[in-house]
Structures are given as C-alpha cells and as structure tokens.
Amino acid sequence: MLNNLKNFFKTDYLLVVYMYVNSFFILKYGERIYDGFEYGFLFFYVAFILLLRLLVKKNAIVINDSKYFFVFFLIASIIMFLLQCLLVFGINGNTVQVDRWSALQVFIENILNGDYPYDKQDHLGKTTSNLPSLFYIGLPFYLINNIGLLQPFVFVILMLFVNKASVSNVKKTMIVLLLLFSPAYWWEVAVKSDLMSNLLIVTLFIWYWKSKYSKNIFHNSIMLSFWVSFIVLTRGVVAIPLVLLLFHDFMKLDVLYRVKFLFIVVVFTILLMIPVLITVPSLDYLLIHNPFNHQTKYAPIFLIFFSLVAPFLLSKHSTSIYLIQRNSMWILFLLIFITFIINIYEEGWCNNIYGIVFDISYISMILPFIVISYLFQSDYSKT
C-alpha cells in the first residue's frame, strides 16, 4: 500500500498539483452551489479524476493502437472549442466580478484612440495592468468585438501542437481530459480572462523554440530577441520560464554576442512599446500611473525576489522542454502557495477561500505548465 502510494506520487505528482489547483475553485464555487457540501464536491472531484486516470491507464493499449485516434481527438477538440465559444458568447462580461477582459478592452481602446491607458477604468472601476504586447495579442479579438475569443483561439493552437507531438495517444488523451475537467480552465473561459491564454502562449513558444533549436538556442538570435521582447512585455511572471530556457546557454556565449543580443532585445522592446509611449503625458504621471504597481502588489517582496533569482539558479538544470515547464511550475507554485499561507495567517481561511482577500485565479497560472509538463513527462507507467 505504502509502495503504491510512493509510486503514485513519483509518477503522477503532476496530477496531484493539478487537483490542488482545481480544488480552490471546487471549494469556492461549490459553496455557492450547495452551502456546506463544498468538501463533498471536492472529495467526489478527486475520486473522479483518479478514476479517470486509472481508466485511461487500463485502456492504454487500446488507445495507443487505435487507427481512429486522430478522428476522436479531432472531434473532442472541436467539441471543446465550440463549448468555449458558447460560454464566451453566452456570458455577459459586464455581469462578472472579474475585470481582466474589460481591462484589456479598455487598454486596447485607449491606445487606438491615442489616450494614455493606465489611468482609465474598466467596468469594475479599476485601472489596467496590461503590458504593451497584450495590445497586439488582444487586438484581433477586439476588432471582432469579443476579447473573450482569445482563449478558444489559443486552445486550437494548443491542440494543433498536441496533435503533432511525438508522444503516446494516452498522453494526448490525458491532456484533453485534464482541460475538459478543469474548473480553473473553464473559469478562465467564462470570465473571458487573458491570463491562461497568455501563459499558454509562453509555454507553446518554449515548446516550439526548444524543439526547433535544441542544439543551439541562439541560432536565430534576431528572431529570438524579438520573441523575448514580445513575451516579456505581456506579464512580468513570464520572465521565469524565459530565464530557465535561455540563461544557461546565454552565459556560454562570448561577451560581444551577449551585448549584441541584449541590445537587439532593448531595441525591439522600445519599438513594441511605441503605441503606449506616445500617449504618456509626462514622466511624473508615468511614475504614478503604470502597470507595475498592480503586478507586484499581491506577493511579499522576498517572494518576488525568490521568483526572480530561482530561474537563474535552475537554468542549467532545465535542459529539456519538460524540465523548463516543470521548474516553472514549481517556482510559481511556491510563490503562490507561500503567499496564500501568509494571507491565511493574516486574514483567515474563509476570507481567503470564500471571500475576496485572495484572488484564487492566480493559482491557475500553474495550469499551463502542468499540462505541458504532463505531456512530456517520462512515461513511467509505459502508457
């Protein structure tokens, strides 16, 4: 029994973290569905996920050898895409108490109008913390009048990557099921958030770049410098996986090459920021109204410092797609988990889980890294 439990945590620890992430959403919204039975919902959810994993494992040979797997995978992907679109169109964003969609919409709208975006209020009366690259990511969906379609679109790209991946059909099946039965994922779709999409784009970039240039990450240095600039200008937290991907190989380059690369990154960064920079009223105004005041206010300084330093130390141990995604997951996990524990100590369990003291949506930042790590994890069970 003990050995079976140890083997489970060795081979399926990602599933444990997955259930941990989703448990917060089960508890918070389960209480609203049926007050007093939220822990019952959590018990049944955990049992269901474990049973699902067992069933997939038991039928591994059938799934891997199926001649029609692509058809089933395609149908499942299309159904999930349509369900996400229905959810996006079916929910009025103005009725949800989450402002990521309107913050992005206000951000894009003001830039297009030539107005400074960081002092403008969204539908909840808050100011945006979006960085410049989100303007480019969100613009196509703003132009078709629905920011929320970003998530279904990114889902399609993810499924294309998964379909092309050189992994077992069982792995691909589990990825679809993990997303299908993730309350955290569907919450992101329902509130039209860009957070999950943003981080999925980062994980897919790392997957693509590490696969294409595995022997020399800096082979196409100009294109890489552009993507580094672009991705960093979405959210500060994306620096974690980027540093894990690049830093160790970066330090192997000669000094002149390093300086050249950093210079090009700075140039691209400035160019990408131009739509925002031309709207800045003054330097003093920028110091008061800027996105960084929002992006760093939720975590203690020592944890922000840890999350900045840890990727540099772990980069030499992040030599594969799996290790980059896994290490990113653990750094984010510790950052969010310790912040949560501190909040519980200061404000109490109920205020953090059921109240508004702690934004549980930040926990879902871990999910994209769990999904990609799961896909590339060594298949100990031979499935």
pLDDT per residue as tens digits for the range 236-288: 899 999 999 999 999 999 999 999 999 999 999 999 999 999 999 888 888 88
Q: What is the mean pLDDT of residues 79-89?
A: 96
In the chain, what are the domain boundaries? 2-376
What is d(CA 184, CA 172) in angstroms, rounded to the nearest whole number?
20
pLDDT per residue as tens digits for the range 6-17: 555 666 899 999
pTM, full prediction: 0.92
pLDDT per residue as tens digits for the range 119-147: 888 888 888 889 999 999 999 999 999 99
What pLDDT is recorded for position 99? 86
Q: What is the mean pLDDT of residues 65-77?
A: 94
